[in-house]
Chain A
Amino acid sequence: MSWWRDEAREPLRRNLGLVGVLLALFAIGAFIRPELYGDPKWVTNNVLVIMTQAAAVGVVAIGMTFVIIGGGIDLSVGALIALCGVWATTYATQSYGTVGMIFTALAVGIGAGAVNGLLVAYGKLVPFIATLAMLVAARGLAAQISGKQTQISNDAFINSIATTRILGIPMLVIMLLVVAALGWVLLNRTTFGRRTIAVGGNPEAARLAGINVRGHTLALYALSGLCAGIAAIMLTSLATSAQAAAADLYELDAIAAAIIGGTLLSGGRGTIVGSLLGVIVFSTITNLFAIANLPTEVQNMVKGAIIVTAVLVQQLRFDSVTKFARRHGLTRAGAPPEAAAATPAP
């Protein structure tokens, strides 16, 4: 009865909403191309295609979710993917073999993320500015390293990741799900996650509770950089190459996914599942447009409309709850009647 008003259930309601959107998109697809959607084999395969396309963005969206919950934003993730990919595929790095390449991608990601974190936490730069500067600089460095050439990956193992399937499920999809699962545990079951929520929800309260706010902020950006490094390996595997222009605008997709997944841009609240669903929704739309043979320009317009609609619906719902609460004499938005009744008792 009251579960729809219970604040703690809000993420669940939102995620159910996104599942509803996915079902609606599926229904639209089935309406446009009934002959394809009638074939279970095709449908299964298509779902895996959607998930594969979502994989790299999904991984950075998980990192992005942590940064946003922690009260920041990371505009540099797309550029970091390019930088990590290029750095990991130079002749020099490739000479160290698979381990050397993977290590380089991850280390460059963490390092660049840590620089973001240092600028934000200790240099007191606004996250938007610090990571925007990193975006520009990382693209520049990637172009410098690669000489603006596409660098071919000769590593058999890395190239095979994108083509490997385990129990019929593509390796990239498994990687996304593993990262998401680890992210979920990290956010919901560890002290790191608890600190993230505290630091983003009320930095002053966190500070006065003795939490190392700056150190934690630094760690969050490093985590986002790590995710960019993982995504770089995935993209390099998909393309069997890396280039400075790779992963263009991934940061916007990742931010949009987190937002429609219910992560508050002001920090303190968000879910891993929501961000994952957000990425899948965008990927499904791309897929749907391909199936319907519509141009990508229209697709981008629809994406924009979806982001706006999602945020509007979010506000609308909040307003209506507030109004409902007021009409029923509740003191605060969403305050259950028992709490209000308990107040005046001496």
Chain B
Amino acid sequence: MSELLMDAPASGAQEAGEVVLRLSGVVKTFPGVRALDGVELEVRAGEVHCLLGQNGAGKSTLIKVLAGVHRPDEGRVEWLGEQVSFGSPQAAMKAGIATIYQELDLVDYLSVAENVYLGHEPRSLGFVQKGTAARQTRELLGRLGHGEIPARRLVRSLPAAGKQIVSMARALSHEAKLIIMDEPSAVLAHDEVGNLFRIIRELTAQGIAVVYISHRLEEIREIGDRVTVLKDGRTSAVNLPARTTPTRDLVSRMTGRSIEYVFPPRAQQEPGEKEHGSSRPAAAQAAGQGTPHVPLLTVRGLGRTGEFADVDLDVRAGEIVGIAGLVGSGRSELLETVFGARTPDAGTVAVGGRPLPPGNVAAAVRAGLGMAPEERKSQALLLGEPIYRNMTLTTFSGFATAGFTDAGREQAEAMKIADLLELRPRDVRRAVRTLSGGNQQKVVVGRWLLGGTRLLLLDEPTRGVDVGARAELYQVIRGLADQGVGVLLVSSEVPEVLGLSDRVLVMREGRVVHTAPAEGLAEEDVLDLVMAGSLTATDERTEEQA
């Protein structure tokens, strides 16, 4: 790692302000995960320091360490030249580090001024000086170039961009010397981003340091001074000049992981060929629309206003189709719409050539669809209930006679699945809560196997799953495909999509921008597409089988 580190403080920062924040060797572990594994970071007064890294690289944990939410297990944090350890977010705030999270933490039903001074209201004899708060808020908003936002207006009535301004005003009200912004542009429209950048420039001109997190390289180019790249909880590069470092360099430092992904071999495929489910009898043979075989899943022109538009895709029996894209690219929404959990505004979904009624989960399940949703715990599991009952959540009626459930048979069937998926522990009467993330995911996938599901929709199947269990899940998914199940997979982790899928769709801002066989794709190219990089012009669409 050390050879990657460049000790070049002068390279990026224009006229090197003094160092306000310095992290060295910061380590933070959670049960089973080393989220930060030796992180270096140096932030100077008046600079915009960008943090770059893939999902799971440790950016969020790093922010939380800086914001005082987590205490590091090892390493030094120096703030204004002194070693510090913030015990709480309030302590960090007091010291002058403000964090603007992606989900803005404002109280909707309080006014702008009340939000800005929440927790440190100007007081006199125990009474809040509303007038003073409003006046000072107006000053702060003016400093941010947004004097037009009324201090007494309810925050609820402001648009996202306005709320962000209020968050920044709150940071300024604490006399913050460092403001951390976690993907601030994600909630903003295009023209609002320009405004955000103008404010950031004004802040830095006042000597305030900004740590800026974004997935969009073009933003980093525009606003950033220096870049620190995180990969698998480590710093893979520090203090790169934001404007001049080639994209390839940045991307290669984000990828090339140390964690080995172990993917099972794909089904027999001629190298370079497109999708062939050739050797399986049930699977649709030969690519293309010329064949009489209908794909298992056909999606045409599917769209939901503000989420995704005009999506065409096919999944054949025995095929794994992966969707790569950032959070917010519309991929999860697409999956949920295919499953009927959301109602589309346009387009059709057909299974085996027969159209599904829109927005009807029960019908989708009957047609042989199954979904493992993104949020395992909140969307898929009854944590306090036993494993077998979670596995039979869609099928218990089928095992029942005249409305009476058959727990014995359910347990026997669940046991078979548990054996098949090598669930640990194997005792299906145990509460799902006691399982590890990987095994919980197996329960969710197992649920659909019991129902004879023909098409599995997997949304982030390995989120929160440790490395060893990942490999097992990959085996399970590939094994299902080999038995003729079609799989539509969504993941933020590009290597996962590439390694597991037969064919890859890249989604960006609600549109499919690229479709290609997984084997011909490089991780860098996909990342480039995903982050709207320079490889291709924006909406160029490679026609699938046209």
Contact = CB atoms under 8 A, between A and B. Distances in A.
B382 to A, nearest CB: 4
B379 A342 contact: no
A268 B424 CA distance: 25
Contact of A334 (B341, B373, B434, B468): B434
A231 interface: no
A346 B468 contact: yes
Interface in A314-345: 331-336, 338-339, 342-345
B491 to A, nearest CB: 19
Contacts of A201: 382-385
B30 to A, nearest CB: 10
B371 A7 contact: no
B413 to A, nearest CB: 15
A208 B400 contact: no
A194 B382 contact: no
Contacts of B385: 197, 201, 268
Given A194-B405, A210-B394, A268-B384, A342 B424 contact: yes
B430 interface: yes
Contacts of A204: 378-379
A331 B295 CA distance: 44
B381 A191 contact: no
Contact of B382 (A189, A202, A335, A342): A202
B152 interface: no
B424 A8 contact: no
Nearest to B372: A208
Which of A194, A207, A335 is packed against the most chain B CB atoms within 10 Å?
Answer: A194
Contacts of A132: none
A190 interface: yes
B431 interface: yes
Contact of A209 (B433, B447, B468, B471): B447
B447 A332 contact: no
A269 interface: yes
B433 A189 contact: no
A296 interface: no
A167 to B, nearest CB: 29
Contact of B361 (A207, A269, A331, A333): A207
Contact of A332 (B424, B433, B439): B433
Contact of A202 (B365, B381, B386): B381
Given A198-B393, A209-B393, A345-B468, A8 B362 contact: no
Contacts of B471: 346
Nearest to A342: B424
Interface string A298-323: 00000000000000000000000000
B543 interface: no
Interface in A198-215: 198, 201-202, 204-212
A192 interface: yes
Interface in B423-458: 424-425, 429-431, 433-436, 438-439, 447
Nearest to B365: A210
A212 B394 CA distance: 11
Contacts of B436: 339, 342-343
A206 B382 CA distance: 9
Given A210-B365, A212-B362, A335-B434, A343 B381 contact: no
Contact of B434 (A202, A209, A336, A346): A336
B397 interface: yes
Nearest to B378: A204
B389 A209 contact: no
A212 B425 CA distance: 31
A190 B380 CA distance: 21
Interface string B303-338: 000000000000000000000000000000000000
B433 A343 contact: no
Contacts of B425: 338-339, 342
A338 B400 CA distance: 32
Contacts of B466: 343-344
A189 B405 contact: yes
A209 B371 CA distance: 8
B126 interface: no
Contacts of A193: 405
Given A189-B405, A339-B435, A344-B468, A8 B429 contact: yes
Given A202-B379, A342-B439, 10 more contacts: A193-B405, A194-B396, A198-B382, A205-B393, A208-B373, A208-B379, A339-B434, A343-B466, A345-B468, A346-B467
17 contacts: A7-B434, A190-B404, A191-B400, A193-B405, A201-B383, A204-B378, A204-B379, A205-B393, A208-B341, A210-B364, A268-B385, A339-B425, A339-B430, A342-B424, A342-B425, A342-B439, A346-B468
Interface of A: 7-8, 189-194, 197-198, 201-202, 204-212, 268-269, 331-336, 338-339, 342-346
Interface of B: 31-32, 339, 341, 361-362, 364-366, 371, 373, 378-386, 389, 393-394, 396-397, 400, 403-405, 424-425, 429-431, 433-436, 438-439, 447, 466-469, 471-472
Q: Which 6 A-B pairs have the closest CB atoms?
A: A346-B468, A210-B365, A343-B436, A342-B424, A201-B382, A209-B393
